[in-house]
Amino acid sequence: MAIIVQRPKLKWWEHLYLPGIITGMRVTLGHFFSILSGRTKVTMQYPEEKWDSHLPEHYRGAPALVTDEHGRERCVACQLCEFICPPRAITIKPEEIPSDDKWAKVEKRPRAFDIDMIRCIYCGLCEEVCPEQAIFLRKDYAITGTSRAEMVHDKTRLYEIGGVREGLVNKWNELK
């Protein structure tokens, strides 16, 4: 069964499209004069001015690895972030922890951890799936490089830009 929707009847001046054009010009001229008078600012002078204070709380920037407060890496090389990554930007090569080490119960750690920042879509799935809270999205939006190779961040670079995160790490918990 078809439903027939009646179109509203237009007045004779609405057929001319003149009221729509006049309304649009009034909005455009209002913006033009407010910019000329300096009431609103449109352009941000980027290197001198940054958005850091204006970033929303839910902003998702570049992913980075973090260490605990004792300088130990939090990552257990479970590879969940690698498996969940939609564009396959994360590559992890795990290695076993030697049996003579105090933390041999953890079984493995990342030998290589690479994130291709060109492929990364900053979705935040890697941060959500990490059981040890080893990967975080920073509030950084200026990720630059002069070549594709510079845009692949390795483990040392990721720890360098990630910093330290405090809190309980199951990997280093002696009771587990």
Return per-residue pLDDT of the chain as tens, 176 residues: 789 999 988 888 777 888 888 999 999 999 999 988 888 777 778 778 887 777 888 888 899 999 888 888 888 899 999 999 999 999 999 998 887 877 666 678 899 999 999 999 999 999 999 988 899 898 888 888 899 999 999 999 999 998 888 776 665 555 54
Phi, psi of 57 (to 5 degrees): -65, -30
The boundaries of the domain holding residue 122 are: 53-172
Residue 57 maps to a domain: yes
CATH of the domain at 84: 3.30.70.3270
Q: Mapping DSSP to helix (H, G, I), strand (E, B) and coil, where does residue 129 land? A: helix
Model pTM greater than 0.85? no
Residue 146 maps to a domain: yes
Question: Could you write out the DSSP letters of every residue in 35-51?
Answer: HHHTSS-----TTTS-S
Residue 45 maps to a domain: no
pLDDT at 118: 93
- CB neighbour list of residue 70: distance below 8 Å, 6 or more residues apart: 172
β-bridge pairing 63-65 and 135-137? antiparallel
pLDDT at 172: 55
Residue 23 maps to a domain: no
User: What is the total count of domains within the chain?
Assistant: 1
pLDDT at 154: 94
Residue 24 maps to a domain: no
pLDDT at 176: 47
Residue 157 maps to a domain: yes
Separation CA 113–CA 123 (nearest Å):
18
DSSP 137: E
Residue 10 maps to a domain: no
pLDDT at 174: 58
175, containing H or E segment: none
Residue 119 maps to a domain: yes
